[in-house]
Amino acid sequence: MTKEKILRLLPSVDELARWWEEAENDQVVPVGRSVLIPLVRELTQELREKILGDKLSDSSELSKEELLQALGTKIKGLAEYKLDLMINATGVVLHTNLGRAVLSERVAEAVARIAANYSNLELELTSGERGSRYSHVEEYLCKLTGAEGALVVNNNAGAVLLALAALARGKEAIVSRGELVEIGGSFRIPEVMAQSGVALVEVGATNKTYPADYSNAISENTGLLLKVHTSNYRIVGFTRETTREELVQLGKKHQLPVMEDLGSGCLIDLKQWGINGEPTVQQCIAAGVDLITFSGDKLLGGPQAGIIVGAKKIIGRLKKHPLTRALRIDKFTVAALEATLKEYINNSAIENIPTLSMLTASLPELRARAGRVAARLEQELGKNAQIAVEEGSSMVGGGALPTVELPGTVIGIKPYVISCHQAAKELRLGNNKVMVRVQDDKLLVDLRTVFPRQEENLIGKIVEILRGEL
Ligand SMILES: *Cc1c(COP(=O)(O)O)cnc(C)c1O
């Protein structure tokens, strides 16, 4: 048959849409015409291209039955959730691609409760006047960090932008060359500074910056001394960093505000769990830093947010800045942050905030869980894979504590009926999506980031993908 003849077998868009509407499609989600027509058009266009490119295997692909089936697949695909749950078996606790911090069930319930009801988001209950959405979390943040004031915006990048614009627009901010960080997803300190209208004055060298480097650069144009926490890298070897105490002293001497972009924003010293190198927000406030910004969804373990704490006067200036309105948090974030901070207030953060329980999980417990899951996999997979429990380490992730390796246990799986690469891909697709690490031709499953309630689904999915005919 010539291509022209085959093309004539294709029904028109209207005709195919009518077939669909007349057919009984109980098993497929109902869609309206406005959605049906573009899908039909997409399908006929694809088929037309296939015909013209000689890619059509058989003209039976154009039968009414086949066309309706192809359309059904498209409609089902459209109706599926694009944002779906994943089981994180990578051991990377703050995995940015998997949504960073996971909220506890209790915090998630607090969000759902506020989402499905009216609330006093911006209502002063005693006076009946308009209130502030920040009031619900400001007191907690001040009590927990020792700061005089607090404000919360959309994320830490926004917090830095707002703080710079409010404190030093049209002026210069002095930063060490060792702290000009780039955080994944294109957050670069020099570029954010440019956007905020603040001129960057770099001082020192990559590995060494002395207090004198800052004081030599101070002039009547200086508006701010800025310290940036090198969250996702460390400069090691021959180094000299100007401490925040030294910066605070300089700031006092020259009457300049000192701001610190802390990145992760840890409220609990994790030293006793072997996690070193992250200053707490309290330490920075105690050192006299005027303004500190950090993320809500990194080590704090809460919702995405940019938390700003510091001197009352400066926070007051930030609250009045027009950017604050553009960067304001929604009520879900307020609810999630309030419930997360409550865990800190109640001294139950380590047990009840998933990020912190995962980071501090004990090695014997991780070993026992890995042993149990590995035994199940061995039993179900038999000769389809080689399974071994190995010592391994997990990462904090999310651009936090890059040099910290959390000692842990991993299950190493060498599949025999499928390649590692293919297995990792299929694990990510379909129901019960799973993300694993791939290393040395093995799949590594780290239970540190898997909730016990997810174990059965994890085992089921791995068995489904790895089992086959040898
Ligand atoms: C993560 C990080 C940011 C960006 O924070 P987001 O909440 O992702 O916007 C900025 N600065 C530092 C130092 C960071 O570690």
CA of residue 425 to ligand 1 center, whole Å: 29
Ligand 1: which residue has its CA nearest to atom 1?
Answer: 263
Structural domain including 117 reads 105-352
Q: Rounded CA gap, 462 and 445, in Å?
A: 10
Q: Are strands 306-310 and 291-295 parallel, antiparallel or unpaired?
A: antiparallel
Q: Rounded CA gap, 174 and 226, in Å?
A: 6
> Which of 201, 269, 209, 198 is CA-nearest to residue 244?
209
pLDDT at 184 over 80: no
pTM of the model: 0.92
Statement to judge: residues 328 and 193 lie in one domain = yes
Pocket flag, ligand 1, residue 153 (CB < 6 Å):
no
337 or 193: whose pLDDT is higher?
337
Ligand 1: which residue has its CA nearest to atom 7?
Answer: 156
Give the model's confidence band at 123: pLDDT under 50 very low, under 70 low, under 90 confident, else very high: very high
* End position of a domain, from candidates 307, 333, 352: 352
Residue type at position 260? E
CA of residue 191 to ligand 1 center, whole Å: 13
pLDDT of 181 reads 83
pLDDT digits (tens, 9 = 90+) for 371-409: 999 999 999 999 999 999 999 888 888 767 777 888 999
Statement to judge: residues 59 and 148 lie in one domain = no
Statement to judge: residues 419 and 398 lie in one domain = yes
Taking the CA of residue 228 as reference, the ligand 1 atom at the shortest distance is 13
pLDDT at 25 over 80: no
| Residue 329, in any domain of the structure | yes
Pocket flag, ligand 1, residue 183 (CB < 6 Å):
yes
Residue by residue, DSSP assigns 223-245 as EEEEEE--TT----SS-B---HH
Taking the CA of residue 157 as reference, the ligand 1 atom at the shortest distance is 9
If DSSP codes are grouped into helix, strand and coil, which group holds residue 125?
Answer: coil
Q: Please give the structure tokens belonging to residue 310.
A: 């510091």
Pocket flag, ligand 1, residue 227 (CB < 6 Å):
no
Ligand 1: which residue has its CA nearest to atom 6?
Answer: 156
CA of residue 39 to ligand 1 center, whole Å: 40
CA of residue 170 to ligand 1 center, whole Å: 24
Ligand 1: which residue has its CA nearest to atom 14?
Answer: 263
Contact 164, 171 (CB under 8 A): no
Pocket flag, ligand 1, residue 156 (CB < 6 Å):
yes
309 or 31: whose pLDDT is higher?
309
Statement to judge: residues 181 and 37 lie in one domain = no
> Which of 39, 44, 40, 53 is CA-nearest to residue 9?
44
Exposed e or buried b for every residue in 319-357, given b needs 16+ CB within 10 A? Answer: eebebbeebbbebebbbbbbbbbbbbeeeebbebbbbbb
Statement to judge: residues 348 and 366 lie in one domain = no
Statement to judge: residues 109 and 208 lie in one domain = yes
pLDDT at 143 over 90: yes
CA of residue 157 to ligand 1 center, whole Å: 6
If DSSP codes are grouped into helix, strand and coil, which group holds residue 450?
Answer: coil
- Phi, psi (deg, nearest 5) at residue 338: -60, -45
How far are the Cα atoms of 151, 182, 337 from residue 332, in angstroms, in the given order?
Answer: 16, 28, 8
Q: Positive or negative, the Cα torsion across 210, 213, 214, 215?
A: positive
| Residue 100, in any domain of the structure | no
Statement to judge: residues 207 and 138 lie in one domain = yes
| Residue 386, in any domain of the structure | yes
Q: Residue 259 sits in a domain of what CATH number?
A: 3.40.640.10
Pocket flag, ligand 1, residue 228 (CB < 6 Å):
yes
- Number of domains within the chain: 3
CA of residue 99 to ligand 1 center, whole Å: 14
| Residue 396, in any domain of the structure | yes
Give the model's confidence band at 230: pLDDT under 50 very low, under 70 low, under 90 confident, else very high: confident
Statement to judge: residues 368 and 345 lie in one domain = no
pLDDT digits (tens, 9 = 90+) for 95-107: 999 999 999 999 9
Choose the residue to mutate in 231, 284, 299 for probing ligand 1, maximizing ligand atoms within 8 Å of C-beta: 231
Ligand 1: which residue has its CA nearest to atom 3?
Answer: 263
Q: Residue 420 sits in a domain of what CATH number?
A: 3.90.1150.180
Statement to judge: residues 212 and 318 lie in one domain = yes
Kindly report which listed range (121-135, 179-193, 203-217, 450-464) carries the lowest average pLDDT score: 179-193
Pocket flag, ligand 1, residue 295 (CB < 6 Å):
yes
CB atoms within 10 A of CB 252: 12
Taking the CA of residue 305 as reference, the ligand 1 atom at the shortest distance is 7
Statement to judge: residues 121 and 234 lie in one domain = yes
Angle (CA) 208-210-214 rounded to 5° is: 120
